[in-house]
Structure 1
Amino acid sequence: MTTFNILFTSVGRRVSLIRYFREALKELGLEGKIVTADMQSNAPAARVGDIHELLPRVTDDHYISKLLEICNNYDIKLLIPLIDTELQILADHRSQFEHIGTCVLVSSSEVNRICCDKRKTASFFENIQVNTPDTLNAEKMLSDPETDYPVLLKPANGSSSVGVTKINNAEELRFFLKYIPEPIVQEYIIGQEYSVDVLMDFQGKACAAVPRLRMEVRAGEISKGITVKNRAIMAAAKKVAEALPGAIGCITLQCFVTKEDQIVFIEINPRFGGGVPLSLAAGAKYPKTIIQWLIKMPLDWTNMDDWQDGLLMLRYDDAFFIEQDDLT
């Protein structure tokens, strides 16, 4: 195979990730087009692809048929979804894409059901016996004047930290319960927060794990962070990812490390997380490795712990400037 075309959906602002995949194609000597797709013609990441296609909403009846049409038209070998809301529907229709020769980099339907509902995620962590915050009964808390605060309130099906609220007393809890959809209340954990990018092969084995300390977060996404080669976090994250029934590609886990060095897992994002460019910049060759697996090429990154410890990322806003008539 000398041509390998890749489609990224819901590209938004994921400029860096797309550039890493383009570089991987170049390193492997593969010709290939980068096709981006989004609801908007002015998605910033569309400016780093070769072709941009408009998509309907994920909830639209024609969403899958439109994606199949794009994959057929451009001979797409790899489809990479980038937001939570499209993962389940793509997992449910993965076989239709396989039929036309497109690999959808999405975990199983069961994995996505576990990860998109914080209640199921908490139960999963408990079932595999890893530390996770206690889930609390809001009504019992409000009727008990001895309840300890703070606690954390968040929507069970939320993403990007939208609606996540620290609750300091009963009055705040009573107020926010009215406005947070499908609320879940959990123990408030204090410690250093990490995201861990775990690379899963197509047989469900965790091949690599890169912990990133979340030093500063903006709009739910890391803006300052540093890679930390903590072997305990790496081993624990691999254990969690391998327990998922059908996880593939990049699985981004979130956890805290308390002052007692206890690792407490809180969330799973079964996709490339927003901060994954830090792991890739540190030398984690996830894009290249995924492509090599698909084309059955021997790996040149055999020591998958060979990435740079202590690499600091300081994010800032950049911009593309284009003529209005150039939007497609």
Structure 2
Amino acid sequence: MTTTVNVLILSAGRRVELVRAFQRQHPGLDVTPRVVAADASPLAPALYFADAHEILPRCTESNYIQALLALCRKHAIDLVIPTIDTELAVMAANRELIEETTGALVAISDTYSIAICRDKVKTHAYLRSKGLVTPHLYTEDEVTGLRVTFPAFAKPRGGSSSVGAQRLDTLDDLEVARRTTPDLMVQSYAAGDEYTVDCFIAPDGRPLSITPRLRLATRSGEISKGRIHHAPEVIEATERLLAALPLRYHVTVQCIVENGTVSFIEINPRFGGGAPMSIHAGADSCLNLYRIRLNIPTTPTPAMDGATFLRFDRTLQLGTTTEPQAVLFE
């Protein structure tokens, strides 16, 4: 007899691949997945690939949590999957309420870890305090005094999806960035091979997978072409990072490797846009979450080294009714 597991993917947006990854059947696991996708916009494409979909208020609105609780009860949700940076603090702060009220498991790290990861200045300071390498962070005095060595790199300290992130090559670039980018932080420019590392950490702190993906090409801050590459220096450095910070469930780490030195750029305690690459290669975070939810023992899930993935667009036509018919054009 199979068990139905109802999964709620929040802020589903364009995450069609993630919806399908959770819908996939796993041989040997008697689970029938049912995926509910939610978003603040009825025009989020992933809504129409899920088994059911709902519209939620934005996570910044006062009625968000009550609406989320009602949705979880309506669909008997077993797993809640946050996907965007702006909702992480809200979900972490309300995790116990959601779990106790609905019985669902919220796949998120604790408020302490979220607070460090969401503020890139705090991330830098924390990693440095643990002996991990990150690009040099210029002080406010150095930035305002224009005492910056170029090239440099600037981004908002609480930014997301590479919005506002930019390379600086001249003093003019720096001055424009200071005028146009709120809460700016400036670091030395890290050159080298850029990796995204998909990690899955069990509730007891055991890393079940550490999967480095070499970023071959990106678009709008997300990977569009990538290759699984089990670079030993990246795996070893990521192991030290995970030992230093009590992260849980799926986590996406970004780093640069130059001459064997691994320099960490960001920690995103959620599924990244390219996570389905690692999932399809064998580092299956969806399978791990199903096992955890059903109290089935978890084991390491390594990815296939060398697997290359290409992402592309599809077109979805919506009908004119309140429940649109999805028509795909390849």
TM-score by length of 2: 0.93
Q: Show the counterpart of 1:222.
A: 223
Q: Show the counterpart of 1:206.
A: 207
Residue 132 of structure 2 is aligned to residue 133 of structure 1: no
Q: Show the counterpart of 1:252.
A: 252
Question: Which structure 2 residue ranges, 5 or more long, are not aligned?
Answer: 325-330
TM alignment of 1:247-286, pairs within 5 A: 247-258=247-258, 260-286=259-285
Please report how far the alpha carbon of residue 144 of structure 1 lies from its aligned counterpart in structure 2 after TM superposition.
Answer: 6.2
Q: Show the counterpart of 1:79.
A: 80
Residue aligned with 1:31, SS = strand
Q: Show the counterpart of 1:318.
A: 314
TM alignment of 1:111-190, pairs within 5 A: 111-141=113-143, 143=145, 147-190=148-191
Are the aligned partners of 1:42 and 1:327 in contact in 2 as well (CA < 8 Å)? Answer: no
Residue aligned with 1:4, SS = strand
Provide the C-alpha distance between the structure 2 equivalents of 1:196 and 1:238, rounded to a whole number of angstroms.
11
Question: Which structure 1 residue ranges, 5 or more long, are not aligned?
Answer: none
**AA matched with 2:188:** E
Provide the C-alpha distance between the structure 2 equivalents of 1:67 and 1:108, rounded to a whole number of angstroms.
19
Please report how far the alpha carbon of residue 206 of structure 1 lies from its aligned counterpart in structure 2 after TM superposition.
Answer: 1.6
2:301 corresponds, among 299, 304, 318, to 304
**AA matched with 1:58:** C
Q: Show the counterpart of 1:9.
A: 10
Question: Which consecutive segments of 4 or more residues in structure 1 shift more than 6 A?
Answer: none
Q: Show the counterpart of 2:98.
A: 97
Are the aligned partners of 1:255 and 1:265 in contact in 2 as well (CA < 8 Å)? Answer: yes
Provide the C-alpha distance between the structure 1 equivalents of 2:85 and 2:267, rounded to a whole number of angstroms.
11
Please report how far the alpha carbon of residue 320 of structure 1 lies from its aligned counterpart in structure 2 after TM superposition.
Answer: 2.3
How many residues in Structure 1 have an aligned counterpart in Structure 2?
322
CA RMSD of superposed structures (Å): 1.7
Residue aligned with 2:24, SS = helix
Provide the C-alpha distance between the structure 2 equivalents of 1:254 and 1:20, rounded to a whole number of angstroms.
22
Provide the C-alpha distance between the structure 2 equivalents of 1:30 and 1:141, rounded to a whole number of angstroms.
54
Please report how far the alpha carbon of residue 303 of structure 1 lies from its aligned counterpart in structure 2 after TM superposition.
Answer: 4.7
Please report how far the alpha carbon of residue 204 of structure 1 lies from its aligned counterpart in structure 2 after TM superposition.
Answer: 2.0
Please report how far the alpha carbon of residue 181 of structure 1 lies from its aligned counterpart in structure 2 after TM superposition.
Answer: 0.6
Residue aligned with 1:35, SS = strand
TM alignment of 1:11-90, pairs within 5 A: 11-24=12-25, 28-90=29-91
Provide the C-alpha distance between the structure 2 equivalents of 1:238 and 1:211, rounded to a whole number of angstroms.
12
Provide the C-alpha distance between the structure 1 equivalents of 2:138 and 2:164, rounded to a whole number of angstroms.
17
Cα–Cα, structure 1 residues 257 and 69, in superposed 2: closer, same or farther, change >3 Å? same
TM alignment of 1:231-242, pairs within 5 A: 231-242=232-243
Are the aligned partners of 1:206 and 1:242 in contact in 2 as well (CA < 8 Å)? Answer: no
Please report how far the alpha carbon of residue 142 of structure 1 lies from its aligned counterpart in structure 2 after TM superposition.
Answer: 5.6
String of CA shifts for 1:81-125, please: whole Å, max 9, x gaps. 111111100100011111121111111111111111110010111
Cα–Cα, structure 1 residues 221 and 169, in superposed 2: closer, same or farther, change >3 Å? same
String of CA shifts for 1:178-209, please: whole Å, max 9, x gaps. 11110001011110100000111011222210
Provide the C-alpha distance between the structure 1 equivalents of 2:293 and 2:35, rounded to a whole number of angstroms.
17
**AA matched with 2:316:** F
Are the aligned partners of 1:35 and 1:49 in contact in 2 as well (CA < 8 Å)? Answer: yes
Provide the C-alpha distance between the structure 2 equivalents of 1:141 and 1:220, rounded to a whole number of angstroms.
25
Are the aligned partners of 2:214 and 2:228 in contact in 1 as well (CA < 8 Å)? Answer: yes
Provide the C-alpha distance between the structure 2 equivalents of 1:141 and 1:37, rounded to a whole number of angstroms.
41
Are the aligned partners of 1:78 and 1:102 in contact in 2 as well (CA < 8 Å)? Answer: yes
**AA matched with 1:205:** R
Provide the C-alpha distance between the structure 2 equivalents of 1:97 and 1:176, rounded to a whole number of angstroms.
40
Cα–Cα, structure 1 residues 103 and 25, in superposed 2: closer, same or farther, change >3 Å? farther
Q: Show the counterpart of 1:291.
A: 290
TM-score by length of 1: 0.93
Please report how far the alpha carbon of residue 321 of structure 1 lies from its aligned counterpart in structure 2 after TM superposition.
Answer: 2.5
Cα–Cα, structure 1 residues 190 and 32, in superposed 2: closer, same or farther, change >3 Å? closer
Provide the C-alpha distance between the structure 1 equivalents of 2:4 and 2:306, rounded to a whole number of angstroms.
36
Are the aligned partners of 2:216 and 2:225 in contact in 1 as well (CA < 8 Å)? Answer: yes
Residue aligned with 2:289, SS = helix
